[in-house]
Structure 1
Amino acid sequence: ALCEVHIAAVMAEYLRGEEVYPEGCSPFSILSPNILRDETNTRTDHAGGQSDTVFTLDSLLTQLECCALMLDRAERYEQLGNLYRLLVPIYEQRRDYSALVHCYSHLYQAYTRVVEVNNSQKRLLGRYFRVVFYGVVYFEDEAGKEYVYKEPKVTSLAEISERLNLQYCEKFGKENVKLIMDSNFVDADELDARFAYIQVTHVVPYFNELEQPNRQTEYERNNNINQFVFETPFTRTDAEVNQNDIGDGEQRVKPKPKAHGRLQDQWKRRVIISTSYCFPYVQKRIPIVDTQIQEMSPIEVAIDEMESRVKELTEIIDKKPTDIKKLQLKLQGSISVQVNAGPLAYATTFLQDARLSIAMSDTVSLASNSDCATYPVNQVARLREVYRQFMVTCKLALDLNASLISSDQCEYQMALESTYAELLSALESVLGSSSLHNASLNNRGSHGSNYGGAYLSLFGHGGAGVDC
């Protein structure tokens, strides 16, 4: 579909030069920001160097109608509104009402499909993978190059890895190709020059805080995107060498850090990559031109994890109509009381009152057996606040579920409420019930009436519940 749109933009640029379509390819930027970059001032004076290429306004209209059909086939229904903004003014000027009837009829069908796919969540707009090639003997100029590949539907990491492996095994020989399946950065100098290496990592679209309000739907999160993110867990403790254990003249090999460790040792590396063009594009892979790395400390990992839980649950609550299956799955996973995993594990690791002592004016020291980690007071306070938000959001979800279920799920609702009460009791022993109560008073206004009601319900002052 994008190839057809780019062809139409080339035609528009030609007609601009002929003073037939003065706007040229400029209006096409509403379809893709790539078009202005690629097609502005495109010259089509000769086709194959043999005969003049001649486009007319009618041929442009025909091409745009072709674009509409292709965008529909690609399930990019939302783009049809932008496309017809290019067509409709011309048809109106020509008083071609039959063509206008066709345009608006197609738009009606397209927006009907938008409603359907948004409700069903069954439209799959692709997955993205970071692919890096190593081995100058084999890849030559491509060695060390990084790309983001766009794959159709729900292509898995295993599927694209197998396909690339087969592709390059045929080219270089099966015995000469190796796959790197972890997401850690690779030092090319440490690789065996006798082999061709391919590293494949699953990535997801990334949006900063300013972009997120405009990236609500699945379509918006997969259209005109050029930033992606992936995360890699690691531990610092195992990567450090105890210099006191090394004698004079003794050399010790630096141990390879483990990916996973105890929560208080668990770091996370977030890598944000930018491509030279936006997806979707006329090519299925685009070079990576920028990489930003953020390292998150253990308590920052906990904050990030809990904020993600709150965000995911809030999105399910706010979406109408409510997907009750998704609500129940997310709610059940959120309030599960597990000492060694989930929300309770982070709380007992970083917020246990008995293990907190003020070390400095701006830090909190957390002692665990012989270990001692120091965290900034503001991060500890932030994590505590996220837990308050988390419990309020879980209560909202619990009440919403109670209002939606039928009588045959009464026992299930009671089990959820019991599990929630257990988690609340466990967290109160960590955070303190008075601290939670103060939070309810301080946050009622900022979160609106729903959150206020949830805070009251949190402490037994009402709230929805299934009548069992």
Structure 2
Amino acid sequence: KRENISLSTGSVRARVFDRFLFDTPFTKNGKTQGGLEDQWKRRTVLQTEGSFPALVNRLLVTKSESLEFSPVENAIGMIETRTTALRNELEEPRSSDGDHLPRLQSLQRILQGSVAVQVNSGVLSVCTAFLSGEPATRLRSQELQQLIAALLEFMAVCKRAIRVHFRLIGEEDQEFHTQLVNGFQSLTAELSHYIPAILSEL
């Protein structure tokens, strides 16, 4: 079925030339939302006959495809997205002379959302859902390795970001930096219950 797609639609989340993506959460029991271990995602990819921006507001959809991501694939994707956001903040040039100088405020915001104790439930919830006891036995070997690798990479980038943060701050941010360090150490200790190797990797 050929459909029209409009720039005004709120469901379009990403644009790659003439391809558009949107995700729909679902569970196998019919509910839209569930726990991490039950949460599936359907990604719909639409291709149009032309590309935006265009002289018209609507273009004909010529192709539609759907992909399904399992709960563990969702969890891996969530962690990788956080890791990428933090890495991009570290690597994006901020000054005209080409030096890599991350914006302090945005770096602080992302770091706080990654390692602060009150908001690290996302990463810990992933471990509880997939790496604790019986749930871990349901994962394929490749899935288990990918999940652990994603968690280790996330923590390694967090550690690097905290070091960069220390070099950027002044006296007024020392207390905040201490909170970040304490949060990172607490998170590492919690994750070590699920991934003992994390203590030697970091």
| 1:404 equivalenced with 2:184 (yes/no) | no
In structure 2, the partner of 1:306 is 79
Distance (Å, rounded) in 1 between the aligned partners of 2:160 and 2:63: 41
In structure 1, the partner of 2:33 is 260
Distance (Å, rounded) in 1 between the aligned partners of 2:163 and 2:169: 10
1:328 to 108, 130, 133: 108
In structure 1, the partner of 2:154 is 390
SS in 1 for 2:139: strand
Distance (Å, rounded) in 2 between the aligned partners of 1:275 and 1:293: 15
Distance (Å, rounded) in 2 between the aligned partners of 1:398 and 1:335: 10
Distance (Å, rounded) in 2 between the aligned partners of 1:273 and 1:311: 25
SS in 2 for 1:232: strand
SS in 2 for 1:281: coil
Higher relative contact order (CA 8 A, sep 6+): 2
In structure 2, the partner of 1:188 is none
2:58 to 285, 306, 311: 285
Runs of 4+ in 1 over 2 A off after TM superposition: 144-151, 204-207, 336-341, 434-437
TM-score normalized by structure 1?
Answer: 0.40
Larger radius of gyration: 1
8 Å contact from structure 2 (residues 113, 120) kept in 1? no
CA gap of 1:206–1:378, structure 2 versus 1, over 3 A, is farther
| 1:428 equivalenced with 2:201 (yes/no) | no
| 1:233 equivalenced with 2:25 (yes/no) | yes
CA deviation map 1:74-118 (0-9, x unaligned)? xxxxxxxxxxxxxxxxxxxxxxxxxxxxxxxxxxxxxxxxxxxxx
What's the CA shift for 1:340? 8.8
Aligned length: 195
8 Å contact from structure 1 (residues 337, 419) kept in 2? yes
What's the CA shift for 1:204? 2.4
What's the CA shift for 1:147? 2.8
TM-score normalized by structure 2?
Answer: 0.88
Which amino acid is the alignment partner of residue 315 of structure 1? N
What's the CA shift for 1:302? 0.4
CA gap of 1:338–1:146, structure 2 versus 1, over 3 A, is farther
Q: Gaps (5+ residues) in structure 2?
A: 95-101
CA gap of 1:340–1:260, structure 2 versus 1, over 3 A, is farther
What's the CA shift for 1:339? 8.7
In structure 1, the partner of 2:144 is 380
In structure 2, the partner of 1:59 is none
SS in 1 for 2:7: strand
Percent identical pairs in the alignment equals 30
What's the CA shift for 1:336? 3.2
What's the CA shift for 1:150? 2.6
Distance (Å, rounded) in 2 between the aligned partners of 1:424 and 1:344: 10
SS in 1 for 2:34: coil
Which amino acid is the alignment partner of residue 347 of structure 1? C
Q: Gaps (5+ residues) in structure 1?
A: 1-143, 152-199, 208-224, 239-256, 358-363, 366-373, 441-457, 459-468
CA gap of 1:325–1:425, structure 2 versus 1, over 3 A, is same
What's the CA shift for 1:428? 0.8
CA gap of 1:323–1:147, structure 2 versus 1, over 3 A, is farther
Distance (Å, rounded) in 1 between the aligned partners of 2:46 and 2:144: 30
In structure 2, the partner of 1:167 is none
8 Å contact from structure 1 (residues 338, 344) kept in 2? no
